[in-house]
Amino acid sequence: MALAWCVVRRSASKFASVYGGRVRSISAVVNRASLARNPSPVRPLVSRGFNYSTAIDRMSSEQSLIRVIDSEINSASQTDNIDLDEEITPGSFPFRIEDNPGHQNVTLTRDYNGEHIKVVVSMPSLVSDENDDDADDDEGPSNESSIPLVVTVTKKSGLSLEFSCMAFPDEIAIDALSVKHPGDSLEDQMANEGPDFEDLDENLKKTFYKFLEIRGVKASTTNFLHEYMMRKVNREYLLWLKNVKEFMEE
């Protein structure tokens, strides 16, 4: 009887040690699964707070940029309140002006004694003369603007002369002169560029300057163009600012 009781106790103890461990393992698994199904409520709050802060910073930055753009628009608008067309008196400027917003060039056209004259005016550039020994050190380098011009004088037959010029205040400089035939290919046009204008005889050069002057390409015309093109620079800048602001506000 005593021997049988010992056997029963050992079996019960073995059952408890084996199956009791499995029960603890199952309990641990169940607890971990429940934690996975119920994550900490702190984590999503931190993520949402970070996204909200980032959105606020971006909105503040864009609003600040729009305020700066508005300030620039107001400044540019104040310097563009003069209409130069009202300053042109009949006969003083014989060309028709074709100026399209957003384009970098202005085209002038007129007809003169059976010829069609076209002047393509590009944006002005500022030339700084830092090597001017006569300039006062207190005043710094002297600056002057220059405007590239391409003047084309075309006959009824289509034959034309093309002048590449640079217009300075009160002065026009011819850089090159070429003859264009109707139907010429690009290779033919390059072949007809002619000699370097500076190598021509002085009397011949003076005659070409007079040729342009008679047709309206002279210092008084280019002085007006300097003022006109400087205002165009401002108008194009103003248009660009408004386009950027429209993008930022969408």
The answer, yes or no, to whether residue 2 has pLDDT greater than 50, is no
Most confident of 106-115, 118-127, 232-241: 106-115
Identify the residue with better confidence: 49 or 62. 62
Residue with the bigger pLDDT between 39 and 187: it is 187
Cβ-contact 211, 126 below 8 angstroms: no
Q: Which residues of 123-162 are buried (b: 16+ CB within 10 A; e: fewer)?
A: ebeeeeeeeeeeeeeeeeeeeebbbbbbbbbbeeeeebbb
Q: Does residue 165 carry a pLDDT above 70?
A: yes
Highest mean pLDDT among 33-42, 133-142, 173-182: 173-182
Whole-number mean pLDDT of the chain?
Answer: 75
Provide the CA 4 distance to its chain's centre, in angstroms.
101
Report the CATH architecture of 96-124+144-219: Roll (3.10)
* CB atoms near residue 108 (< 10 Å): 22
pLDDT at 207 over 70: yes
Write the pLDDT tens digit of every residue in 52-79.
Answer: 566 666 667 778 888 888 888 888 777 6
Look at residue 81 in the predicted model and tell me its pLDDT.
59
The DSSP 8-state label assigned to residue 158 in this structure reads S
Residue 142: per-residue pLDDT: 44
Q: What is the pTM of this model?
A: 0.65
More confident residue, 2 or 120: 120
Task: Please answer whether residues 119 and 105 qualify as being in contact, where contact means their C-beta atoms are separated by less than 8 angstroms.
Answer: no
140 against 82, higher pLDDT: 82
Give me the mean pLDDT over the 117-135 stretch.
72
For 100-109, how does the pLDDT look when each residue is reduced to its tens digit (9 = 90+)? 988 989 999 9
Contacts (Cβ under 8 Å, ≥6 apart) of 153: 115, 116, 117, 160, 161, 163, 215
Residue 135: is its pLDDT beyond 60?
A: no
CA–CA separation, 90 vs 163, rounded Å?
26
DSSP bridge pairs for 172: 167
Mean pLDDT of 152-177: 93
Instruction: Report pLDDT for 131.
Output: 52
Q: Would you kindly state where each structural domain of the chain is located, as residue ranges?
A: 96-124+144-219
- CA–CA distances in Å: residue 164 to residues 92, 122, 145, 182, 203: 23, 12, 17, 19, 19
